Amino acid sequence: MEDFEAVYQERMLDTEMLYQQERYIAAMHFGGISIECLLKAMIVDFHHLTEWKTDSTHPGHTIHNPGHDLIKAIRTINQLWSNVQRNPQVLTWLNQVEYPFIEHYIDLRYLGNEPDEKRHKEWFEAYTKLKIWLVKQSTFLGKLK
């Protein structure tokens, strides 16, 4: 299984460096990936996974890889989903990170235009708040190294 925690750490650094260099589309793309990897690290830790369930593998649990769907990832940990529902602002942050433009963060790699100042600042604030909130949640739900 991938080391999602290590990938999260690396993509988080990439995101911050790209943002500082005013490479906002790339920062938004990598920011989504870093949140995706943070969530996957939390899932792996919380459920003690050694592999994802697939159509061909049945490792004794029902947890499928949520792919690039951040809400689906959160919903694999019932306690985390409950915490999100108690804090509606988190859903706003999630939506801003997952869909920084009308496009999904994965599809931003095909955009050539940088966002306006208001949009990239709002995105970075949502990304930062979501990241901090998720890391705090991980201390209650499981542990990230």
List the CATH number of the domain containing 35: 1.20.120
How many domains does the chain fold into? Answer: 1
Tokens encoding 12 = 């988080």
| Domain span including residue 137 | 4-141
Secondary element (H or E) of residue 124:
helix 117-141
Tens-digit pLDDT string for the chain (145 aa): 899 999 999 999 999 999 999 999 999 999 999 999 999 999 999 999 999 998 888 888 999 999 999 999 999 999 999 999 999 999 999 999 999 987 999 999 898 888 999 999 999 999 999 999 999 999 887 655 4
